[in-house]
Amino acid sequence: MLEINGLGKIYYGKKGGKQALQDVNLKLGPGEIVGLFGENGAGKTTLLKCILNFLSFQGEILLDGRKVDKRNIARLSFATCEHSFFPNLTPASHADFYRMHFGTFRDKRFETLMNFFELPMRTALKNYSTGQKNQFEVILALCQGADYILMDEPFAGNDVFNREDFYKVLLGILEPEETIFLSTHLIEEVERFVGRAVLLRKGRVAGDITTLELEEQDRTLMDYVKEIYGYRSDRVNRALKELTDEM
Ligand SMILES: Nc1ncnc2c1ncn2[C@@H]1O[C@H](COP(=O)(O)OP(=O)(O)OP(=O)(O)O)[C@@H](O)[C@H]1O
Protein backbone atom coordinates (compact mmCIF):
# COMPACT_ATOMS: atom_id res chain seq x y z
CA MET A 1 0.00 0.00 0.00
CA LEU A 2 1.26 3.45 -0.93
CA GLU A 3 -0.08 5.99 1.52
CA ILE A 4 0.12 9.73 1.10
CA ASN A 5 -0.85 11.76 4.15
CA GLY A 6 -1.15 15.55 4.28
CA LEU A 7 1.29 16.04 1.42
CA GLY A 8 2.32 19.60 0.67
CA LYS A 9 4.98 20.99 -1.63
CA ILE A 10 6.16 24.56 -2.00
CA TYR A 11 8.73 25.51 -4.63
CA TYR A 12 10.80 28.43 -3.38
CA GLY A 13 12.20 30.91 -5.87
CA LYS A 14 13.43 34.50 -6.00
CA LYS A 15 9.87 35.76 -6.17
CA GLY A 16 8.75 33.75 -3.13
CA GLY A 17 7.04 30.38 -2.76
CA LYS A 18 4.75 28.53 -5.16
CA GLN A 19 2.38 26.09 -3.44
CA ALA A 20 2.32 23.20 -5.92
CA LEU A 21 0.60 20.63 -3.67
CA GLN A 22 -1.60 21.11 -0.62
CA ASP A 23 -3.02 18.58 1.81
CA VAL A 24 -2.97 15.67 -0.64
CA ASN A 25 -4.25 12.43 0.92
CA LEU A 26 -4.31 9.25 -1.17
CA LYS A 27 -4.01 5.50 -0.81
CA LEU A 28 -2.96 3.29 -3.71
CA GLY A 29 -3.37 -0.42 -3.14
CA PRO A 30 -1.62 -3.36 -4.80
CA GLY A 31 -2.90 -4.14 -8.29
CA GLU A 32 -4.67 -0.84 -8.87
CA ILE A 33 -4.41 0.95 -12.20
CA VAL A 34 -4.95 4.59 -11.40
CA GLY A 35 -5.08 7.53 -13.79
CA LEU A 36 -3.85 10.89 -12.53
CA PHE A 37 -5.50 13.81 -14.29
CA GLY A 38 -5.44 17.58 -14.00
CA GLU A 39 -4.93 20.77 -15.94
CA ASN A 40 -1.47 22.02 -16.84
CA GLY A 41 0.24 23.02 -13.62
CA ALA A 42 -2.19 21.10 -11.37
CA GLY A 43 0.70 19.32 -9.64
CA LYS A 44 0.78 15.87 -11.27
CA THR A 45 4.52 15.72 -11.96
CA THR A 46 5.27 17.23 -8.55
CA LEU A 47 3.15 14.53 -6.87
CA LEU A 48 4.96 11.72 -8.70
CA LYS A 49 8.36 13.23 -7.90
CA CYS A 50 7.45 13.57 -4.21
CA ILE A 51 6.41 9.89 -4.12
CA LEU A 52 9.80 8.99 -5.57
CA ASN A 53 11.49 11.21 -2.98
CA PHE A 54 13.11 13.27 -5.75
CA LEU A 55 11.75 16.40 -4.06
CA SER A 56 11.53 17.52 -0.44
CA PHE A 57 7.96 17.87 0.83
CA GLN A 58 5.77 18.36 3.85
CA GLY A 59 3.63 15.48 5.13
CA GLU A 60 4.21 11.77 4.91
CA ILE A 61 4.54 9.20 2.13
CA LEU A 62 4.68 5.58 3.21
CA LEU A 63 5.23 2.40 1.24
CA ASP A 64 3.81 -0.47 3.27
CA GLY A 65 4.28 1.67 6.37
CA ARG A 66 7.85 2.76 5.65
CA LYS A 67 9.22 6.02 4.28
CA VAL A 68 10.65 5.81 0.77
CA ASP A 69 14.42 5.71 0.93
CA LYS A 70 17.30 3.72 -0.53
CA ARG A 71 16.10 0.53 1.20
CA ASN A 72 12.78 0.38 -0.63
CA ILE A 73 13.10 2.78 -3.60
CA ALA A 74 13.60 -0.20 -5.97
CA ARG A 75 9.94 -1.07 -5.33
CA LEU A 76 9.07 2.09 -7.28
CA SER A 77 9.85 2.70 -10.93
CA PHE A 78 9.30 5.79 -13.05
CA ALA A 79 8.67 6.31 -16.75
CA THR A 80 8.87 9.97 -17.61
CA CYS A 81 8.53 11.94 -20.83
CA GLU A 82 11.78 13.63 -19.74
CA HIS A 83 13.40 10.16 -20.12
CA SER A 84 15.61 8.60 -17.49
CA PHE A 85 17.70 6.17 -19.57
CA PHE A 86 21.33 6.63 -20.61
CA PRO A 87 21.26 7.96 -24.21
CA ASN A 88 24.69 6.61 -25.12
CA LEU A 89 23.89 3.06 -24.04
CA THR A 90 22.01 0.38 -25.99
CA PRO A 91 18.94 -1.46 -24.61
CA ALA A 92 21.13 -4.56 -24.19
CA SER A 93 23.49 -2.58 -21.92
CA HIS A 94 20.54 -1.21 -19.97
CA ALA A 95 19.33 -4.75 -19.39
CA ASP A 96 22.80 -5.71 -18.07
CA PHE A 97 22.85 -2.64 -15.82
CA TYR A 98 19.33 -3.25 -14.48
CA ARG A 99 20.02 -6.97 -13.94
CA MET A 100 23.06 -5.99 -11.88
CA HIS A 101 21.19 -3.42 -9.77
CA PHE A 102 17.71 -4.90 -9.47
CA GLY A 103 17.44 -8.54 -8.44
CA THR A 104 13.81 -8.33 -9.56
CA PHE A 105 14.57 -7.37 -13.20
CA ARG A 106 12.05 -9.07 -15.49
CA ASP A 107 14.23 -10.50 -18.25
CA LYS A 108 11.50 -12.38 -20.07
CA ARG A 109 9.15 -9.40 -20.08
CA PHE A 110 11.97 -7.17 -21.36
CA GLU A 111 12.70 -9.46 -24.29
CA THR A 112 9.01 -9.91 -25.10
CA LEU A 113 8.25 -6.18 -25.09
CA MET A 114 11.38 -5.29 -27.08
CA ASN A 115 10.34 -7.84 -29.71
CA PHE A 116 6.70 -6.81 -29.70
CA PHE A 117 7.57 -3.16 -30.37
CA GLU A 118 10.36 -4.20 -32.75
CA LEU A 119 12.95 -2.07 -30.95
CA PRO A 120 16.56 -2.70 -31.93
CA MET A 121 18.50 -4.14 -28.99
CA ARG A 122 21.96 -2.95 -30.05
CA THR A 123 21.32 0.65 -31.13
CA ALA A 124 22.27 3.49 -28.75
CA LEU A 125 19.11 5.09 -27.36
CA LYS A 126 20.12 8.52 -28.67
CA ASN A 127 19.56 7.13 -32.17
CA TYR A 128 16.00 6.00 -31.45
CA SER A 129 13.06 8.13 -32.63
CA THR A 130 11.10 10.06 -29.98
CA GLY A 131 8.31 7.47 -30.03
CA GLN A 132 10.78 4.61 -29.69
CA LYS A 133 12.51 6.39 -26.80
CA ASN A 134 9.13 6.69 -25.04
CA GLN A 135 8.43 3.02 -25.63
CA PHE A 136 11.79 2.07 -24.22
CA GLU A 137 11.32 4.33 -21.18
CA VAL A 138 8.03 2.57 -20.38
CA ILE A 139 9.52 -0.89 -21.02
CA LEU A 140 12.34 -0.20 -18.55
CA ALA A 141 9.88 0.98 -15.89
CA LEU A 142 7.78 -2.15 -16.45
CA CYS A 143 10.76 -4.49 -16.31
CA GLN A 144 12.60 -3.16 -13.27
CA GLY A 145 10.49 -5.46 -11.13
CA ALA A 146 8.87 -2.64 -9.14
CA ASP A 147 5.49 -3.06 -7.44
CA TYR A 148 4.53 0.58 -7.99
CA ILE A 149 5.08 1.82 -11.53
CA LEU A 150 4.68 5.58 -11.91
CA MET A 151 4.28 7.09 -15.36
CA ASP A 152 4.31 10.76 -16.28
CA GLU A 153 2.76 11.44 -19.70
CA PRO A 154 4.83 8.58 -21.10
CA PHE A 155 3.29 8.49 -24.56
CA ALA A 156 3.67 12.14 -25.60
CA GLY A 157 4.81 11.83 -29.21
CA ASN A 158 3.58 8.27 -29.86
CA ASP A 159 0.96 7.58 -32.49
CA VAL A 160 -2.51 6.49 -31.45
CA PHE A 161 -2.18 2.84 -32.61
CA ASN A 162 1.03 2.56 -30.74
CA ARG A 163 -0.59 3.86 -27.56
CA GLU A 164 -3.56 1.50 -27.99
CA ASP A 165 -1.13 -1.42 -28.32
CA PHE A 166 0.61 -0.34 -25.16
CA TYR A 167 -2.57 -0.25 -23.09
CA LYS A 168 -3.55 -3.71 -24.34
CA VAL A 169 -0.12 -5.19 -23.76
CA LEU A 170 0.05 -3.62 -20.32
CA LEU A 171 -3.27 -5.09 -19.27
CA GLY A 172 -2.11 -8.46 -20.55
CA ILE A 173 1.26 -8.61 -18.80
CA LEU A 174 0.71 -6.97 -15.43
CA GLU A 175 0.87 -9.27 -12.42
CA PRO A 176 -1.95 -8.91 -9.87
CA GLU A 177 0.24 -7.09 -7.33
CA GLU A 178 1.66 -4.52 -9.76
CA THR A 179 0.23 -1.03 -9.36
CA ILE A 180 0.21 1.63 -12.08
CA PHE A 181 -0.11 5.35 -11.37
CA LEU A 182 -0.35 7.04 -14.77
CA SER A 183 -0.40 10.80 -15.23
CA THR A 184 -1.87 11.76 -18.59
CA HIS A 185 -4.02 14.26 -20.43
CA LEU A 186 -5.44 11.50 -22.68
CA ILE A 187 -8.60 11.10 -20.57
CA GLU A 188 -10.88 9.40 -23.10
CA GLU A 189 -8.14 7.15 -24.36
CA VAL A 190 -7.23 5.64 -20.99
CA GLU A 191 -10.79 5.35 -19.69
CA ARG A 192 -10.98 1.64 -20.50
CA PHE A 193 -7.50 1.02 -19.17
CA VAL A 194 -7.67 2.61 -15.69
CA GLY A 195 -9.77 1.29 -12.81
CA ARG A 196 -9.73 4.54 -10.90
CA ALA A 197 -9.24 8.22 -11.62
CA VAL A 198 -7.64 10.77 -9.31
CA LEU A 199 -8.11 14.40 -10.29
CA LEU A 200 -5.84 17.18 -9.12
CA ARG A 201 -6.80 20.80 -9.20
CA LYS A 202 -4.48 23.60 -8.09
CA GLY A 203 -2.45 21.16 -6.03
CA ARG A 204 -5.36 19.52 -4.23
CA VAL A 205 -7.25 16.28 -4.86
CA ALA A 206 -10.46 17.44 -6.51
CA GLY A 207 -11.86 14.04 -7.45
CA ASP A 208 -11.27 10.35 -6.82
CA ILE A 209 -13.58 7.78 -8.39
CA THR A 210 -13.45 4.20 -9.67
CA THR A 211 -14.56 3.38 -13.21
CA LEU A 212 -17.03 0.94 -11.66
CA GLU A 213 -18.68 3.84 -9.80
CA LEU A 214 -18.78 5.80 -13.04
CA GLU A 215 -20.42 2.87 -14.84
CA GLU A 216 -23.00 2.54 -12.07
CA GLN A 217 -23.76 6.24 -12.42
CA ASP A 218 -23.88 5.87 -16.21
CA ARG A 219 -21.28 8.59 -16.62
CA THR A 220 -18.11 8.73 -18.67
CA LEU A 221 -14.81 9.73 -17.18
CA MET A 222 -14.87 12.83 -19.38
CA ASP A 223 -18.30 13.80 -17.94
CA TYR A 224 -16.85 13.47 -14.45
CA VAL A 225 -13.72 15.46 -15.29
CA LYS A 226 -15.76 18.26 -16.90
CA GLU A 227 -18.05 18.39 -13.90
CA ILE A 228 -15.21 18.54 -11.37
CA TYR A 229 -13.48 21.29 -13.32
CA GLY A 230 -16.70 23.15 -14.02
CA TYR A 231 -15.86 23.06 -17.73
CA ARG A 232 -18.03 25.42 -19.73
CA SER A 233 -18.40 24.17 -23.27
CA ASP A 234 -19.71 27.57 -24.38
CA ARG A 235 -16.47 29.30 -23.30
CA VAL A 236 -14.79 29.12 -26.71
CA ASN A 237 -17.86 30.27 -28.61
CA ARG A 238 -18.37 33.18 -26.21
CA ALA A 239 -14.72 34.23 -26.46
CA LEU A 240 -14.86 34.06 -30.26
CA LYS A 241 -18.09 36.01 -30.32
CA GLU A 242 -16.61 38.72 -28.09
CA LEU A 243 -13.57 38.92 -30.35
CA THR A 244 -15.60 39.10 -33.57
CA ASP A 245 -18.04 41.64 -32.06
CA GLU A 246 -15.07 43.86 -31.26
CA MET A 247 -13.91 43.85 -34.87
N1 LIG B 1 11.03 23.45 -10.33
C2 LIG B 1 9.99 24.26 -10.12
N3 LIG B 1 10.15 25.48 -9.57
C4 LIG B 1 9.11 26.29 -9.34
N5 LIG B 1 7.84 25.98 -9.61
C6 LIG B 1 7.61 24.78 -10.17
C7 LIG B 1 8.67 23.85 -10.46
N8 LIG B 1 8.13 22.74 -11.01
C9 LIG B 1 6.79 22.97 -11.08
N10 LIG B 1 6.49 24.17 -10.57
C11 LIG B 1 5.14 24.76 -10.44
O12 LIG B 1 4.36 23.87 -9.65
C13 LIG B 1 3.05 23.73 -10.18
C14 LIG B 1 2.78 22.27 -10.49
O15 LIG B 1 3.61 21.88 -11.56
P16 LIG B 1 3.62 20.38 -12.14
O17 LIG B 1 4.71 20.31 -13.13
O18 LIG B 1 3.64 19.44 -11.00
O19 LIG B 1 2.19 20.34 -12.84
P20 LIG B 1 1.58 19.24 -13.85
O21 LIG B 1 0.21 18.95 -13.35
O22 LIG B 1 2.51 18.11 -14.00
O23 LIG B 1 1.48 20.09 -15.18
P24 LIG B 1 1.53 19.66 -16.75
O25 LIG B 1 0.24 18.94 -17.05
O26 LIG B 1 1.60 20.98 -17.44
O27 LIG B 1 2.75 18.82 -16.95
C28 LIG B 1 2.98 24.67 -11.40
O29 LIG B 1 2.43 25.88 -11.00
C30 LIG B 1 4.43 24.85 -11.79
O31 LIG B 1 4.64 26.10 -12.39
Per-domain residue ranges for the chain?
2-246
Cβ–ligand 1 distance for 231 under 6 Å, the answer no
What pLDDT is recorded for position 1? 96
Give burial (CB, 10 Å; 0-12/13-18/19+) of 218. exposed
What pLDDT is recorded for position 63? 97
Mean pLDDT score of the chain: 93
Nearest atom of ligand 1 to the alpha carbon of 39: 25
What pLDDT is recorded for position 146? 97
pTM recorded for the entire structure: 0.92
For the cut 90, the answer to whether the pLDDT of residue 79 exceeds it is yes
Nearest atom of ligand 1 to the alpha carbon of 153: 27
Cβ–ligand 1 distance for 67 under 6 Å, the answer no
Distance 155 CA to ligand 1 centre (A): 19
> Tens digit of pLDDT for each residue in 41-63?
999 999 999 999 999 999 999 99
What pLDDT is recorded for position 242? 80
Superfamily of domain 2-246: P-loop containing nucleotide triphosphate hydrolases (3.40.50.300)
ipTM surpasses cut 0.95: yes
What pLDDT is recorded for position 243? 78
Nearest CA to ligand 1 atom 4: 11
What percent of the chain lies above the pLDDT cut of 90? Answer: 78
Q: How far apart are CA 56 and CA 78, in angstroms?
A: 17
For the cut 80, the answer to whether the pLDDT of residue 238 exceeds it is no
Determine which helix (DSSP H) or strand (DSSP E) holds 241, and give its type and residue range. helix 235-246
7, 11, 205, best to mutate for ligand 1 pocket (most atoms within 8 Å of CB): 11
